[in-house]
Structure formats: C-alpha cells, structure tokens
Amino acid sequence: MTGSQPRVAVVTGGSRGIGREIAGRLAADGFAVAAAYSSSSELADEAVASVRKAGGQAIAVAADVADETDVSELFDAAETAFGGVDAVVHAAARFALSSVADLDLDVLDDLHRTNIRGTFVVAQQAARRLRSGGALITFSTSVVGLAFPEYGAYSASKGAVEALTMVLARELRGRDVTVNAIAPGPTATDLFLDGKDDETVARLAARPPLERLGTPADIAEVAAFLAGPRGHWINGQVVRANGGIV
C-alpha cells in the first residue's frame, strides 16, 4: 500500500484492555484501525480519540461479534473508511470462573456464544476479506495448557479457538494470509483482576520466571509482530505469551 492508502486493521474488543492496547499499537505502526466494541461507546470513542491524537486513523464500530450481520457491517465499515482489510485481531471475549460442578449453564452458553461462535463469525469474514499479505490473529489463553481449577468453561471455549485457528491456517493455503492465535498468561486487565483478592493476584504474578503479571502492552507487541511483515513467516501457531509460566 502506498500514499494515502494505509494498511487497515479490524480489532474487536478495541475499547478496553488488551484490544484497546493493540489498536493503539497497530496505529503506531501505520495501520488505520476499525475498533469494534460491544457496549461502551464512550470507551470506544476515547480509544479512537487517543489514536487520532497520536496522528493515526481510527473509527469505532459497534458490533456483537457473534452476530453475522454486525460483523459483516464491521468489515464493510473498515473497507468503506479505509479501502480494505489487511489485519484482523479478534480480542473480544467473555470470561467466567466456576467449578464444572457448579457452573450455571446459562453462563456457559453466553461464554461460548462470544468466545466460540464470535471467533468463528469474525474468522469467517476475515477469511473472505483479508487482502494478500494479511493476518488473522485470534485469542486463546495459556490456561488451556495450565488447567487451573475453575477455568473449565473458559478453557474449553479457548481450546475451540485454537482448533479453529489451526484449521483455518491450512484452509487459506495459497492466499498469502497468516492465521495465528495468541495465548496470554495472567495479564493485568480489568477482566483478569475482577473478583480476585490481592493474595491471588500476587500468587499468579509469582508463577512466571519473570515474576510479574503480563501487561496489555506485552500482548500488543506480539500482535503487532504477527500482524506486520516481520511476523509473516509465523503461521498456524499458538503463541503462548506468558512470561514462561508453568
């Protein structure tokens, strides 16, 4: 792309946490960003304003990631505003903690609607619309391998994301489009910290050899690498960005 036609990224969950950090990081790399949000237009507007203040291009688009019409319209908005789509970062997710025995199945259905169906719907549009040289980045979690108690439903939904990611990477043979998943470890976001006492947070922070929680900026650096030309040889992988936690 040259001149007034930047590379273009669609970032779901772009109004807060890791998604917002990724939107800003990609904008710093020259991407025009369509930041999707589900509920808080105020936070989304703040994210867009931050990108623009730094000299970047961004729009905010309301979208339920599990709704195929909303997601199609999200991609339409990115293409209309900026000319196409070159990277898709699907950071939107729902989270719930419970033992398997005690989980309310309505919570399970809501979680899987966002995390599994939502990932599939976004991936479907990405597969149809990403331009040559593009990248799709989905989000799993390192808990898939760590098997923490009370993460059963969440881990199961993210295991499905990993399976879908591997299949799609192979389905896009010949398209020059990469498909990878990032699997963060414990990361200091509002979603992660909510409901955890200081002792629990400190215990999790001490688990990695680097002896701290991850930050949204740590994860955004991985996303920027995978979305850009330097990371284009990485394909069909799950990147466990977790500081070495075991």
Which residue out of 37, 154, 192, 225 is catalytically annotated? 154
Q: Where are the beta strands (DSSP E) in the chain?
A: 8-12, 32-37, 58-62, 87-90, 135-139, 178-182, 238-239
CB 227, CB 26: distance < 8 Å: yes
Q: Which residues pair with 135 in a beta bridge?
A: 87, 178
Give the CA count within 13 Å in the CB-facing half-sphere of 167.
9
Angle in degrees, 0-180, between the axes of helices 17-28 and 216-227, rounded to the nearest 10: 50
Residue 215, CA distances (Å) to 17, 26, 88, 148, 186 in order: 9, 16, 21, 20, 9
Residue 154 falls in the annotated catalytic set: yes
Distances (CA, A) of 14 to 17, 113, 244: 8, 19, 26
Which residues are catalytic, by number? Answer: 154
